[in-house]
Chain A
Amino acid sequence: MDLSDTPEEEEFRARLREWLAGTLPTLPAEPSPDDWPGRRAYDLGWQRMLYDAGYAGVHWDASPTLRMVFLEETEKAGAPYVGANFVGLLHAGPTIAAEGTAGQRARWLPPILRGEQVWCQGFSEPDAGSDLASLRTRARRDGDVYVVTGSKIWTSHAEVADWCELLVRTDPDAPRHRGITWLALPMDADGVTVRPLRTLAGSAEFAEVFLDEVRVPVANRVGEENDGWRVTMVTLSFERGTAFVGEVVACRRMLGELARTARGNGRWDDPALRRRLGRLDAEFRALWRLTQWNVSEAEASGGVPGVGGSVFKLRYSHARQELYDTAAEVLGPDALDLDRPWVLDRLSSLSYTIAAGTSQIQRTIVAERILGLPRGR
């Protein structure tokens, strides 16, 4: 067991720090959360800077450890995260890289890496959330196109996306997992309607996407027809334990800020609050170590993520909500003021135990796949 950097990592870290120190001051001002075109331009611009500096592919071809170092250092330096590039860099891109033809890779990957195109994800449907394999958006073959009709929900960045990685049902008679196909949908195609979805935080982070007889070329299919479930699982297992590196770093920084705020407003004198902060510090120290453990395991297994992902997500999503609840205690009545720091974040954090598999679904996964308990209902 070792937690120190290898010489290679040390050099990577030092070079990255130096680059960040020189580059971040040249970033334009961050656009407001509601300025979608502004956010698109900002996120793509940052990706272009990474590309020019040789870091564009860090999510794809770097080892899990180097990727973790990258995410740790960029977060510590206050650099932007992937933003609108999330699906392109972390879901659609890796899927195309793993399952696409040479022609498809040449067509779609360079624009993602260079910060030219935004992808969104069309997986969930109003009636297919945790039970994704029950999705019903239908694709009918008509010569060399699929004609797609249905609707998708929780699609981030749909308003500004060029492409959508879309799961459709191509064989309604096959067993659920075997009649699904993965398509690249151009968002400007006829019959695509995007309707923003206002979250409880008041912002429009997601959208519904309605598809009405949309014609998608068969050439846009990645993988075989009806093999989309397997193709998608390649995507979903890509994160290799590093999905939350930046967020854990950010939470640890926030704990320090909370302690300073509590000292400033006198709430630090309450031993119950102090102890709660101390326990949260233990929690996020542990989550950081669990991240390092999972990354080491992924490294050892040749990049395949271990069973740690569900364990981490369960613990982390709960801890992060607890962090914001504690922040509210530090803030006192200010916790009801949307203009105070952490108050909007507290609202956003309510999605953590729901998004990407609810905590209940995660527990069932842990029980059945890791602990080997009999399949239940």
Chain B
Amino acid sequence: MTLRFRLTDDQRALRKGVRELLARRFGREALRAAVDAPGRLDRTLWRALGEAGFFALRLPEADGGVGLGLPEAVLVFEEAGRALLPGPLVATHLAAGSVPGAAHGETVVAAVDGELAEWLDAADVVRGDASGAVPLRSVDPLTPLHRVPATRTDPWSALAGTGDVAAGTAEPVAGTGNPLAGVPGPSGGASGALLGCPDPLAVLLTAAEQLGTAGRVCELAVEHARAREQFGRPIGAFQAVQHLCADLLVRAETARAAVYAAAVTADPADIAAARLLADEAAVRGARDCLQVHGGMGFTWEADVHLHLKRAWVRAWRAGGSARSEELLAAALAG
């Protein structure tokens, strides 16, 4: 009997390798330095990610890619989410192969997503129509955001790869000055266009990042519950705290099964389900982790708030949960 729905040795090795790379290149010190310099994208790190194959992961080897599949991409993005790695990772990854330089970390690609756009000012190339975009004071110190005017047409068509809106109206965002700004549609657009919803791959990779946060905040909560003592014993010995931690794990592990399965099937409904589970695991997980940390959790110094804020930003991508819930409901009734 063969073993199937679990990580292969190669996949475990990949995960370990990425975790080590990120620990080296984006450890806690680098993370806090990035927090202190909001809006700045570390191009050296970006190129290092490119060299490591972060963006070219799914391109065929013949095209200079790594030749791996969606499950591997999900594992890599899970690690990125875990490490709170900043930058328009999903947009650049999806642009690899169609935007020159994206695959190897030389070009930073941002994308307009509904009424929001992440990392516009740092991007060399912007996909979608960013005209009239106004910067906002982002809740997440590690994700600069622009507000894009309420849409001229369907907000999702640009992302769904139809390209009409983007090609017709896009202008380079002020300051980027790149002639490629406004190139249409990322990959995987066919099914997305069919469903009139965002690129399912962008949704899936975002879910993978959320999964990384969900796993990390569970670890952080457990570490704190073991170490912090009150009333003469670790707070993790109190059932009220134990049960918060148990729920953190339950949400993360349920989301993990959904996200990994969606990476295997690449089915839009499975992806919608994965995103709902992963958003919940990340957002509620970060909240519970913050609660377990007590007063420490409310400080700027602890990393918990960074996870919560990033989880909030990611949860708004691709139309938020409402879009995925409606997609699944429609499939049920169909």
Contact = CB atoms under 8 A, between A and B. Distances in A.
A binds B: yes
A367 interface: yes
B5 A292 contact: yes
Given A3-B4, A278-B326, A286 B260 contact: no
B328 A373 contact: no
A307 to B, nearest CB: 9
Contacts of B237: 373-377
**Chain B interface main SS type:** helix
Nearest to A293: B257
Contacts of B134: none
A311 B4 contact: no
Contact of A278 (B249, B256, B325): B325
A278 B3 contact: no
B234 A292 contact: no
B249 A371 contact: yes
A278 B329 contact: yes
Contact of A290 (B245, B253, B269, B322): B253
B273 A2 contact: no
Given A274-B329, A292-B5, A376-B238, A283 B253 contact: no
B265 interface: yes
B181 interface: no
B230 interface: no
Interface residues of B, number: 57
A327 B311 CA distance: 31
Contacts of B250: 311, 314-315, 366
A282 B258 contact: yes
Interface stretch (B6-14, B79-87, B162-170): B6-14
Nearest to B334: A259
Nearest to B272: A282
A223 B277 CA distance: 44
B261 A259 contact: no
A302 B226 CA distance: 32
A270 to B, nearest CB: 11
B327 interface: yes
Contacts of B269: 281, 285
Contacts, number: 183
Given A296-B4, A371-B245, A372-B222, A275 B273 contact: no
Interface-centre pick from B264, B270, B277 (highest chain A CB count, 10 A): B277
Given A299-B1, A374-B233, A364 B276 contact: no
Contacts of B226: 372-374
Contacts of A377: 237, 239
A277 interface: yes
A363 interface: yes
B239 A286 contact: no
Interface string A276-309: 1111011101110110110111011000000010
A296 B4 CA distance: 6
Chain A, interface residues (CB within 8 Å), range: 35 or more
Nearest to B6: A296
A360 interface: yes
Nearest to B276: A282
A311 B253 contact: yes
Interface string A338-367: 000000000000000000000010111011
Interface string B305-334: 000000000000000011011111101110
A293 B260 contact: yes
A315 B222 CA distance: 20
A8 B253 contact: no
A299 B3 contact: yes
A1 to B, nearest CB: 5
Interface string B226-263: 10000001101111011101110110011111101101
B233 A1 contact: no
B6 A374 contact: no
Contacts of A283: 273, 277
Contacts of B332: 255-256, 258-259, 277-278, 281
B2 interface: yes
B222 A373 contact: yes
A13 B58 CA distance: 33
Nearest to B11: A1
A1 B260 contact: yes
A3 B264 CA distance: 7
A286 B257 contact: yes
A286 B245 contact: no
Nearest to A376: B237
Contacts of A15: none
Given A6-B1, A259-B329, A278-B328, A368 B242 contact: yes
6 contacts: A274-B325, A274-B329, A278-B328, A286-B255, A315-B254, A373-B222
Given A286-B257, A296-B3, 15 more contacts: A1-B5, A256-B332, A258-B332, A277-B332, A282-B324, A285-B269, A289-B258, A290-B253, A293-B256, A311-B249, A360-B243, A364-B242, A367-B246, A373-B234, A374-B237
Interface of A: 1-4, 6, 8, 63, 65-66, 255-256, 258-260, 262-263, 268, 271, 274-279, 281-283, 285-287, 289-290, 292-293, 295-297, 299-300, 308, 311, 314-315, 360, 362-364, 366-368, 370-377
Interface of B: 1-8, 11, 71, 218, 222, 225-226, 233-234, 236-239, 241-243, 245-247, 249-250, 253-258, 260-261, 263-265, 269-270, 272-274, 276-277, 321-322, 324-329, 331-333
